[in-house]
Structure 1
Amino acid sequence: MHSFDPFAGLIHQIEGYRPPPARKMNMPRIDPYERILAVQRIARGESPSAIAAELGVTKGCVIGWQRKARAEAEAAEAERG
């Protein structure tokens, strides 16, 4: 149930009012080379959380890069026989 707001819409009547820009949910673009370096840093024992904080992405992104790199390495190994 919605509550009644007598001032709803009034701010849009103020001359020159512009609503704040919509917040983008996209993470910063990290180039493939930086992703490789991040995965190598994890392999050396650095914390995915620390790497994520440094790059401005989520820990899940960094772990996803690690999983993808692992899957690609396994696929390449299987292809070689």
Structure 2
Amino acid sequence: MCLGIPGRVVEIPDGYHDQVALVEVSGECRKVNIGLLENDPARPGDWVIIHMGFVVEKTDEAGARAALAGLRLLGRGEQP
């Protein structure tokens, strides 16, 4: 299992050969690699899970909220 950070795709800038997207994570935009999603490409508005700068899967808003809640629990040292 890996720890993934949820984010929402804001933009896929031109010139990156569809490998990089701007993703909003906790109010900040970050460039992440979306190349692992070649069978189901990310589009603006999609929720994704990021691990070490790579989008590893798409999710929905509920999945993103659950992932963020889990990360918050880990940060407090609590057990779910």
Rg larger for = 1
TM bracket, shorter-chain basis: 0.3 to 0.5
Structure with a larger share of its residues in helix: 1
Q: Which has the higher contact order (CA 8 A, sep 6+)?
A: 2
What's the TM-score once normalised by structure 2's chain length?
A: 0.34
What's the TM-score once normalised by structure 1's chain length?
A: 0.34
